[in-house]
Structure 1
Amino acid sequence: MIEFATHRNKDPRLSFRVLDMTVKNEENLKRVFTDTELNPGFDKVFSFACLMWTSDHEQCLENIFKLLRSGGQTLVWFMGYNDLSIVYKEILEMKKWMAYLKDEPILKYAYHDSMDVKSDCYNLMKKIGFQDIISDCERKHFKDYVDIYDFKVHECMDPYVNKLPQHLQREYLDDVITVIDRHIKNDGLTFDLIILLASKP
């Protein structure tokens, strides 16, 4: 993905790097960014759909906070509650995938069981130190969800596909679609879209 992005978006102002935002150690940031980039920090940090698969949102948002300069802003969006949880739970229980995915946690989207997502996210951002916080959560319903599979979107968003040998990935993705057809196709997909906007003092 990094090679593709670098090749397709050639611009001296752009660079693409991999960073594990769940790592607490500040040396992790220094391995990826130069001292000049980290001091004073970035004006903007965006995260679009990257925080859906992590179980440690607090650490990810703390790292975003560390990357920002004073006055810098972040815009983050990810899914909260999601009907796909039942799909991936069933996939993990299928015998043919157990050998490959037995150590993978059952997928649970962030704030799946929250009674007040906006407040929970707002309070987390405030605890980290952000200010000017806007926390929003919208319940979305996508009636024709399965139609997006024609565009192979699921291949880049599936949390487990890259854990499998390449020769089994197509079969696995076909199984995911079969389970989606069984659980979601008729009613469509319901999910929460969480959007956070904040700045660093």
Structure 2
Amino acid sequence: MNKANLYKHSNGLQRRDAKQTIEEFSHVLQWRSDGRDSLLDIGCGSGDVTIDFLLPILPPNYQRLVGVDLSQEMVTFARQQYPYSRISFDKFDLGLDIEKQQFRSAEPFDHITSFYCLHWVQNQERAIQNMYKLLKPDGDMLLVFLAQNPIFEIYKQMSQSKKWAKYMTDVDHFISPYQYSKNPADQFGKLLYANGFTEYSVEIREKFFVFEGIELLKKSVKAVNPFIERIPTHDQDAFFDDYLNLVIKMHLALDDIHTNSNACRFLTPYKLMIAYARK
């Protein structure tokens, strides 16, 4: 449960963007007149975004709130942290056929949300097809995920290093499908339309986040890095050192790291995809 707990305490960027998006777009969701809404949150991670930001916008008499994640560790952690009667957490892979999974909450929902999940799914068409199936008629969804981020370029460069290549042979599976797209919003919109969504909007927001100090950057990297657990413990610090060197090489360090490493700030500029669609 170490990684789930680490993620919960180092996901400031993800929490900020989820909170801002929910505050801006929650009024767009097509809420039921009787207040008996059901909502599926895909890629719930440690569950804190689901509980802190989604639960408060649901009507008091909502029917059910379900968080799902590919990681069983995250699901188990969320269940332990938030044992509420109308809230459940389950394992689910958005990139696989629903019928091939033991997904206990496959009954369609009024709403689907997803924050910082879809960029991990290489089969984008399957993901959209699954979400379409999991929505009721007139159901809608709000999606937030990375189109482009320097972290993916860092992964790519590190995978070409002789030292780390053997741990990163599948690096392309962990790079956003839109990282090198010239028009990611148009690309995703066409996928939505081709798979049944005729009412939708997609936009790209250029954003940035500043990590205050090396330790915060290190915790954040470890919390989301898909390769770190493959690397022997005694080599993990060296992996982060090489990661940090690339950050500096890409001019993302705002201060001189040699002057005061603890106070050094690191800039992360990125493009965020925000999509709304109605079935």
Same fold flag (TM > 0.5): yes
Q: Which one of the candidate residues 176, 179, 191 is aligned to 2:270?
A: 191
Quick one: structure 1 residues 20 and 148, their matched pair in 2 at CA, closer, same or farther if it must change by over 3 Å?
farther
- 1:81 aligned residue: 148
Rounded to whole Å, the distance in 2 between the matches of 1:26 and 1:5 is: 22
Q: What is the DSSP-based 3-state SS (H/G/I as helix, E as strand, rest coil) of the residue aligned with 1:138?
A: strand
Q: CA offsets per residue over residues 125-153 of structure 1, 9 Å max, x none?
A: 111111321211112233x3464851622
**How far does residue 117 in structure 1 lie from its aligned partner after superposition?**
2.4
Q: CA offsets per residue over residues 20-47 of structure 1, 9 Å max, x none?
A: 1111x34235x112xxx434x1111111
- 2:226 aligned residue: 159
In the alignment, structure 1 residue 18 sits paired with structure 2 residue 86: no
- 1:112 aligned residue: 179
Task: Assess if the C-alpha contact under 8 Å between 2:120 and 2:173 holds in 1.
Answer: no
Q: TM-score by structure 2 length?
A: 0.61
Q: TM-score by structure 1 length?
A: 0.82
Rounded to whole Å, the distance in 2 between the matches of 1:178 and 1:185 is: 10
- Structure 1 segment 42-191 matched on structure 2, within 5 A: 42-105=109-172, 107-142=174-209, 144-145=210-211, 147=213, 150=216, 152-165=219-232, 168-186=235-253, 188-191=267-270
- 1:38 aligned residue: 106
**How far does residue 161 in structure 1 lie from its aligned partner after superposition?**
2.4
Computed over aligned residues only, the root mean square deviation of the Cα atoms, in angstroms, reads: 2.5
Quick one: structure 1 residues 185 and 123, their matched pair in 2 at CA, closer, same or farther if it must change by over 3 Å?
same
- Amino-acid identity (%): 26
Quick one: structure 1 residues 66 and 121, their matched pair in 2 at CA, closer, same or farther if it must change by over 3 Å?
same
Task: Assess if the C-alpha contact under 8 Å between 1:146 and 1:185 holds in 2.
Answer: no
Q: CA offsets per residue over residues 49-97 of structure 1, 9 Å max, x none?
A: 1112222211111111111111211111111122223211121122222
- Residue segments in structure 1 that go unaligned for 5+ positions in a row: none
Q: Which amino acid aligns with 1:3?
A: T
Rounded to whole Å, the distance in 1 between the matches of 2:187 and 2:106 is: 29
Task: Assess if the C-alpha contact under 8 Å between 2:119 and 2:175 holds in 1.
Answer: no
- 2:79 aligned residue: 6
Q: What is the DSSP-based 3-state SS (H/G/I as helix, E as strand, rest coil) of the residue aligned with 2:87?
A: coil
Rounded to whole Å, the distance in 1 between the matches of 2:92 and 2:176 is: 21
- Residue segments in structure 2 that go unaligned for 5+ positions in a row: 1-73, 255-266
Which range is displaced more, 68-77 or 144-153? Answer: 144-153
Which range is displaced more, 89-98 or 166-175? Answer: 166-175
Rounded to whole Å, the distance in 1 between the matches of 2:212 and 2:161 is: 21
Rounded to whole Å, the distance in 1 between the matches of 2:212 and 2:157 is: 17
Task: Assess if the C-alpha contact under 8 Å between 1:89 and 1:107 holds in 2.
Answer: no
